Every structure is written in C-alpha cells, then in structure tokens.
C-alpha cells in the first residue's frame, strides 16, 4: 500500500457504491434503509457529538 500514490487511491463516481448505514435501536443493530419513513427522518435529524475525553483520576492499582 505504501507504493500507491494518492491519485490511484481515488475512485471515480461510476466506481463508487452506497454504504449501508446501520444503527443501534432498542439494543440491536439494523440498517437505516429498513426504517419506516418517519424513523428515517428522525435518524437524519439526530445531532451527533463527540464527548471530550477526561483523564482517569483513579489511584494506581497495587500489585
């Protein structure tokens, strides 16, 4: 892979395919494409966030 240049790693539009999106609903995973139209709309309106990492303040374990 290291000998591959960036232009060889790109795809033309006709070479691409849609990626199936799965999400967790009520404890199990299922594809968003199988949701009813109302649930698909809810999924599109979801707000995603990244929770900032906090360092652990636990005392070191003694062996």
Mean pLDDT value across residues 23-52: 89
Query: What does 6-32 look like in DSSP terms, one character per residue?
Result: GGGG---GGG--PPPPEEEETTEEEEG
For the chain, the domain total comes to: 1
Q: What is the pLDDT of residue 1?
A: 47
CA 24/CA 32 separation, integer angstroms: 9
Within a domain: residue 36? yes
Are the beta carbons of 31 and 20 closer than 8 angstroms? yes
Mean pLDDT value across residues 7-27: 84
- 41: domain range? 19-45
Within a domain: residue 32? yes
Res. 17: pLDDT tops 60: yes
- Does the pTM surpass 0.75? The reply is no
CA 3/CA 25 separation, integer angstroms: 42
């Amino acid at each position: 892979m290291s000998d591959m240049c960036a232009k060889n790693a790109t795809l033309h539009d006709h070479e691409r395919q849609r990626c199936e999106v799965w999400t967790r609903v009520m404890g199990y995973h299922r594809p968003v494409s199988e949701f009813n139209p109302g649930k698909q709309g809810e999924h599109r309106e979801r707000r995603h966030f990244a929770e900032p990492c906090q360092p652990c303040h636990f005392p070191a374990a003694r062996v």
